[in-house]
Every structure is written in structure tokens, then in C-alpha cells.
Amino acid sequence: MDKRLIKDNIYWLGAVDWDRRLFDSLIPLPDGTSYNAYLIQGSDKTVLLDAVDPAMADILLHQLRDVATIDFIVSHHTEQDHSGTIPLLLQRFPQAKVLATAKAKTLLMEHLHLAEDVIVAVADGETLSLGGKTLRFLHTPWVHWPETMVTYLEEDRILFSCDFFGSHIAASDLFVTDQGRVYEAAKRYFGEIMLPFRAIIAKNLDKLSDYAVDMIAPSHGQLYDQPAWILEAYRDWVQHPPHNLVVLPFVSMHGSTRSMVDYLTAALVARNVRVELFNLAVSDIGKLAMALIDAATIVVGTPTVLAGPHPLAAHATFLANALRPKARYLSVIGSYGWGGKTVETLAGMIGNLKVEVLDPVLCKGMPDQEAFAALDRLAEAIAQNHRANGFR
């Protein structure tokens, strides 16, 4: 795809990665992704905002074939899918200066071995006039690295947000056409990488609310020409209370834990609590991350394996702990053969979670009436807690 005009003298450049199925060697990408860069030509100066993943550098360089000069390359975020092509760009445009936050300057020198004098640190709120186009740099730390910033183009009221509001979608449509699809992809993106930084993202949203934004141009996925809904979605994800939802990641080798999971699910649904099940042997971990954004309660279902939780349950618990979701309650259910330390091991893995641990339900072999009665008690405790907190 060649570069595309967004507005007068403002272009989308970049690469659509239709084939990519995994990000960060962890995160499934069911819809591929894109690496968006933007070219802004003022009457005096020309700026490139971000770049592309180095694997697709050729595409960006081809799109720039007719561009005689780039004065500045703005690096919003040092992660290599946006910055990794900057060394090549500097070979092609040796007079260009890289603009970044002071923290990013250090990171760019460390990650890409850029020379110190090539990078100019910009202050929070600093402006740069390109001639008829004014860029304002706004520091937005922890979206999702410590050095991140965004750029607001004042005359056109466009926010170039880098990973903020991004979504992994490969598409030929430049702008959002299917809001439901992009909501899902943006939520997945938020769950996977932004969720741990909710508090500081809320502050960054407050900061951005001082600016009238007609368009958001992120570094992954489609552009928002009606940005109100994605701003509101972010408010919900970062600030609103959790929903009346139990997220239940589980594993079962021979069906005992599965039968406990099914029983608990039915008991919760009968008490008007929503449940999302994730069989970890087959689940997309990104879907689990999305559900964790809303969950009020997490219940881990695991058999005992080699004296502890099944490794897949340990992996999901480790991830949930790292993502620091809003959940307020947690419990463990599962079957064992003779004994072990499943609950103790999992309890030692959730130090980041501000949860009350509800009585676990473990049973030997297939669940019996006693186990089902304990699961009923757990369902009742969850439903009562959700009601008492007004979770909806």
C-alpha cells in the first residue's frame, strides 16, 4: 500500500501486516496488525511521526521515495515496532533530528544505539511549528512504557497517540468502519499491555481532555474520525468499577475439575452472576486478558499436578497477577489425587492483586455431594459480594 492522504499535507504511511499471528512472542493476533507512521508537511518543515517494524522497513522507505527532506522524526515510543526503523531512516535522511522525551532519548540510545547528538529531548507541552502546522508534544508516561508521549496537531485537532487507543487490526480501510470489531480489538490490546497501568492512564486521559480532538491516529490499527466512543471505552476500562462477572480460567486432565467448573458456572448463573470460562488448554490468552478488564471475581480451576497447580493454571495466574486487574475476589477450585500445595502455591503468586480470597473448594477425585455443596456456598458468597458492591 502506498501512502494515503488523511487531510491537507498529512499522510498515513506504514505497513499492514496481514499475516502476523503473534506479538511479543506471546499475544495472539487473530486479525493481524498494522504499523502506522504519519508524515506532516508544513510550509517550512517536514516531520515523520514514528516508523514501522524493521521487518517492514522497505515498505516505509518506498513510501518515502519522493520525499526530499525530513527535518524531524518524532519517536513517541521506543518499542522496536515503532522505532526500530529509525536507524535506516537516518541513513536516508541524515540531516533529520529525532524528537523524543528525555527518558526516550536514553532508551533510544540504549536500544538502537543512536548517537546522542541526533536526538533532541522535548519537554512536556513543548510546541514545534512546521509552518501552518503546530505540533504539541504531551508526555504520557506508561502508555505503556515509561518514556511514552503523544503529539497533538493543533490546527487540525488530530491526536497522534502511538500505542494509546491502538488496536491490532490489519485492514485496507484507513478509518474505523466497524466499531464493534475495533472495540473488541482495542479492548484486547488494552487488556494485554495497558491494564497494569490503569491509574496513570486515567491521569493521561485527564490530561488529554484539555484538548479538542477531532481525530485519533494511533500507531496500530485504524484511525478514529469519531473518537468519542474510544475515549469513553478507555474511561470504562481504567476507572469504572468491575462488572458483575466471574472469570474462570481452568484446566482439567480427566474431567473432575471440569465438572466442578460446570457446576459452579450453573450455580453462579442461577444467582444472576455472569461467567466467562477459559479452558486454558485451548484458550486464546488475549481473550482471557480482555475478560480480566471487567472481572469482579477470578476463580482458578486446576487439578493438582506434581504437588502444585497445573502449569497452565500457574501461567494464567502469573499473567493475571502481572496484569493487576480490578478484581476484588478470588478463589481456587479443583480436584486432586492424594495431596499437594496447590492453593498455597497459587496464593503465593497473587501478591499484586488486591483481592479477598474466598474459601477454596478442593476435592479428591470426582466431586461428590459435599464438594457440590461447597461450590454452592462459593457461588452464594460471590453473588452476595457482587450485590453488596453494586457491581452490574
Contacts of 373 (CB under 8 A, 6+ apart): none
Query: How many Cα atoms are found within 13 Å in the side-chain-facing hemisphere of 87?
Result: 15
Smaller CB separation from ligand FMN, 75 or 304: 304
Q: How far apart are CA 221 and CA 77, in angstroms?
A: 16
CB of 299 to ligand FMN, least distance (A): 14
- 32 belongs to the binding site for ligand FMN (CB under 6 A): no
**Collapsing DSSP states into helix, strand and coil, what is residue 140?**
coil
Among 161, 204, 257, 265, binds ligand FMN (CB under 6 A): 257
* Stretch in the footprint of ligand FMN (CB under 6 A) among 56-64, 157-165, 255-263, 349-357: 255-263
What is the footprint of ligand FMN within residues 282-311 (CB under 6 A)?
303-307
Using an 8 Å Cβ cutoff, are 379 and 264 in contact? yes
For the CB of residue 261, give the shortest distance to ligand FMN in the complex, in Å.
9
Residue 274 or 315: the one with the smaller Cβ distance to ligand FMN is 315
Q: Could you tell me the smallest distance in angstroms from the CB atom of residue 309 to ligand FMN? A: 10
CA-closest candidate to residue 90, choices 125, 129, 57 = 57
Contacts of 58 (CB under 8 A, 6+ apart): none
Judged by beta carbon, residue 221 or residue 303, the one nearer ligand FMN is 303
Number of residues that bind ligand FMN (CB under 6 A): 19
Strand-pair category, 46-49 with 72-74: parallel
Q: Contact region for ligand FMN (CB under 6 A) — 13-21, 189-197, 333-341, 353-361? A: 333-341
For ligand FMN, the closer CB: 115 or 366: 366
Q: How many residues does the chain have?
A: 392
Applying CB under 6 A, among 62, 254, 341, 354 the residue interacting with ligand FMN is 254
Which of residues 131, 255, 311, 348 is near ligand FMN by CB under 6 A? 255
Distance of closest approach, residue 364 Cβ to ligand FMN, in angstroms? 7
Question: What Rg do the C-alpha atoms of the chain give, in angstroms?
Answer: 24
CB 356 within 8 A of CB 328: yes
Residue 78: all three cell numbers together? 521506543
Among 34, 219, 244, 252, binds ligand FMN (CB under 6 A): 252
The cell for 368 is 461428590
Least separation, in Å, of the C-beta of 332 and ligand FMN? 13
- The full 3-state SS of 264-292, as one line of letters, equals HHHHHHHCCCEEEEEECCCCCHHHHHHHH
Closer residue to ligand FMN (CB): 207 or 364: 364
Q: Return the residue of 30, 131, 311, 337 that touches ligand FMN, per CB under 6 A.
A: 337
- Whole-angstrom CA distances from 98 to 115, 132, 382 are 10, 21, 52
7, amino acid identity? K
- Site membership for ligand FMN, residue 365 (CB under 6 A): yes
Instruction: Closer to ligand FMN by CB, 140 or 335: give it.
Output: 335
Whole-angstrom distance, CA of residue 33 vs CA of residue 221: 6
- Cβ distance to ligand FMN smaller for residue 199 or 281: 281
Find the shortest distance in angstroms from Cβ 315 to ligand FMN.
16
Q: In sequence order, what are the residues at sequence separation of 6 or more whose Cβ sits closer than 8 angstroms to the Cβ of residue 326?
A: 198, 241, 242, 293, 295, 296
| Site stretch for ligand FMN (CB under 6 A), options 183-191, 195-203, 329-337, 352-360 | 329-337
Give me the least distance between CB of 292 and ligand FMN, in Å please.
23
d(CA 117, CA 122): 14
Choosing from 160, 335, 346, 362, the residue that interacts with ligand FMN (CB under 6 A) is 335
**Is the CB of residue 213 less than 8 Å from the CB of residue 153?**
no
Q: Which stretch binds ligand FMN (CB under 6 A): 25-33, 146-154, 320-328, 334-342?
A: 334-342
Site membership for ligand FMN, residue 312 (CB under 6 A): no
From the list 231, 74, 213, the residue with the least C-alpha distance to 165 is: 231
Provide the β-strand partners of residue 35. Answer: 15
* Residue among 32, 87, 146, 340 that touches ligand FMN (CB under 6 A): 340
- Applying CB under 6 A, the residues found at the interface with ligand FMN are 252-258, 303-307, 335-340, 365
